[in-house]
Structure 1
Amino acid sequence: MTTDVAPAVDWPSLGQSFADSYAQFEANDYLGSRDEQRNETVPEPAVVDAEEPECADELRQAWLRPVENLRSFFAHEAANFTPWLAQHLHLIEAAAWFANPLTLVGTEQKIAGYRIDILAKTLVDGHERFVVVENQLERTDADHLGRLITCAAEVNASHAVWVTTEFRDDHLKVMEALQRNHKDCAFIPLVIDGAIMNDKGSASFKLATPPTYSSPEDHLREKLQESLRKAQEVHHTLERLEQLLADHPDVDFSRYRDIVEETGLWSYWADKCGDRLLERIPEERRKRVV
């Protein structure tokens, strides 16, 4: 029986033949170009951005940048920062998710032997309630914490807000415990996470969350707490971008559209998943009957 065997391919010769043929190839012959057009160079279309302000690149990069020392433009806490904050209570409203606007009552108000930095009012369930605000330009201390708690109790406040540049971990834990166990008053820690260095001075705030500690007995809570912090950061970032868009309508931010689109998609699915989980998880922990 005879078996046909295909001859081995001579790869070097085949490669050389291809190279020789390609060297003689003239693309224009096959594209139907005229002889007089063969030597012409077709210019590439220029990509020109729409007309923008000269500082457009700087504005796209603009952010309320963190500053090491807020006293560089809020020189004095009581004389500069507190009055400015009292005139910009809408920043606290947005950061702390107030349901209704804040109305200023006064600054440096004397309550129970202390002076609270800002005393305001807001509507809660149709009734006016007091809101106390303590602010600092440095790391938190026990004196401000005690003052906040005492003044909030004295005026039966609906909200106790603590604004500072940096929270001590133990103070955040205290605020978390107060928020969880005191149902009639919301204890809200706000951190100053950025500032604009200009003549008037401006600052931005965000909710501070307690640090995530290693929990050998409850790894799931640790992971969920980490996810919470990331979700809050996403919200703050998109909210800041929204403000930039509103402040600079003549600047093009389209280069960020794909990122925002994908972020919104993941946030949507996270929200739907959260709703499904809340339907199955009871509001209070089940207690064993002894």
Structure 2
Amino acid sequence: MTTNTSPAVDWTHLGRSFAESHAELDANDYLGVGDQKVDEPAPAPEPAVVDAEEPEGTDKHRQIWLRPVDNMRRFFPHEATDLTPWLAKRLHMIKKAAWFENPLTLVGTEQKIAGYRIDILAKTLVGDRERFVVIENQLERTDADHLGRLITCAAEVEASHAVWITTEFRDDHLKVMEALQRNHRACSFVPLLIEGAYMSAEGTANFNLVTPPTYSSPDDLLRVKLHEALRKAHEVNNTMNLLHALLASYPDVDFSRYRHIVEEAGLWSYYTDEKVDALLERIPEERRKRAV
């Protein structure tokens, strides 16, 4: 057996020696660009690109602007006295998130219907007829009590829409809402999540209403992927709304670093719109009925 008695290679020393021996070589020697005369002065370096002057503390603000709201009760301590009135004053948010064709008009809050109290009762124009809209809101995970109240009150007033707003949906409740939406054409059942993000270092927050994530459906992975795309589209829209609000609130801050991202987002939205139009031409509006 032959034993290797050569000393171990000192890689650190070898690397340092290599770097020192080539320190004076110009990179152009390797690129084949060596036509410049020796006595010709080197071109002035390009000025570094830096952000324009911004107000003191801008970086601190930028770190806090989009911090998620982790405790809803910090902003809405009580459901009936804080969250419900807040939503009642912002029916335009519900209209936009739930895709209402016409504006919502408030009838009242904590309205008595069929032995229950519905959080918000509103009206909207459907076709040429004014219809009721019932809205339930929660600060906790969904429960059967709120679901039963929503269905009962919607049936009692023959509502055109039943909207359930919460911070977290149970999978089985999302399945019920989808089944109701699919099988009861006289009333649309709409689940919405309330989400938020800090807008300033002072702790004021901006909230959005969005479609909840789809429930687990291992037998229909395409549905899950499409719902994920829907959620991302909502998120893009909300992010652009946030940026719009920031530009208006902080006119002295330079946001040019985000311009190319916004441009690319618009480009992909354009491509997506074209594909959606093509798909809708081939997909029927209603699920085919099984012959009895």
* TM-score, normalisation: structure 2: 0.75
Higher mean alpha-carbon deviation, 51-60 vs 258-267, is at 51-60
The code of the aligned residue for 2:134 comes to V
Out of 132, 135, 138, which is 2:134 matched to?
A: 132
The code of the aligned residue for 2:71 comes to N
Does residue 210 (structure 1) correspond to residue 202 (structure 2)? The answer is: no
Out of 141, 156, 159, which is 2:158 matched to?
A: 156
> 1:4 — aligned with what?
none
Higher mean alpha-carbon deviation, 109-118 vs 122-131, is at 122-131
Higher mean alpha-carbon deviation, 195-204 vs 101-110, is at 195-204
Measure, in 2, the Cα distance between the counterparts of 1:200 and 1:265: 32
Q: Report the aligned-residue RMSD.
A: 3.2
- Over 3 Å counting, the alpha-carbon distance change for 1:94 and 1:48 in structure 2 is same
CA drift of 1:266 comes to: 2.0
Measure, in 2, the Cα distance between the counterparts of 1:173 and 1:127: 30
- Over 3 Å counting, the alpha-carbon distance change for 1:28 and 1:181 in structure 2 is same
> 1:12 — aligned with what?
none
CA drift of 1:281 comes to: 2.8
CA drift of 1:245 comes to: 3.3
Measure, in 2, the Cα distance between the counterparts of 1:183 and 1:63: 41
Aligned residue runs from structure 1 range 145-184, under 5 A: 145-184=147-186
Out of 228, 231, 253, which is 2:230 matched to?
A: 228
- Report SS of the residue matched to 2:281: helix
Native 8 Å contact 1:159 1:186 kept in 2:
yes
The code of the aligned residue for 2:215 comes to P
Measure, in 2, the Cα distance between the counterparts of 1:288 and 1:173: 21
Does residue 261 (structure 1) correspond to residue 263 (structure 2)? The answer is: yes
CA drift of 1:200 comes to: 7.0
- Report SS of the residue matched to 1:188: strand
The code of the aligned residue for 2:105 comes to T
> 1:6 — aligned with what?
none
Question: How many residue pairs align between the two structures?
Answer: 260
- Over 3 Å counting, the alpha-carbon distance change for 1:46 and 1:279 in structure 2 is closer
Native 8 Å contact 2:64 2:198 kept in 1:
no
The code of the aligned residue for 1:92 comes to I
- Report SS of the residue matched to 1:146: helix
Out of 85, 92, 95, which is 1:83 matched to?
A: 85
Aligned residue runs from structure 1 range 237-256, under 5 A: 237-256=239-258
CA drift of 1:195 comes to: 4.6
CA drift of 1:262 comes to: 1.9
CA-to-partner distance for each residue in 1:24-66, whole Å, 9 max, x for gaps?
A: x9967442x5xxxx9xx96863645334433433454454543
Aligned residue runs from structure 1 range 109-120, under 5 A: 109-120=111-122
Aligned residue runs from structure 1 range 1-16, under 5 A: none
**Unmatched 5+ residue regions in structure 1?**
1-15
The code of the aligned residue for 2:81 comes to A
Native 8 Å contact 2:171 2:216 kept in 1:
no
CA-to-partner distance for each residue in 1:249-275, whole Å, 9 max, x for gaps?
A: 443322222222222222222221222
**Identical positions, percent:** 67
- Over 3 Å counting, the alpha-carbon distance change for 1:126 and 1:249 in structure 2 is farther
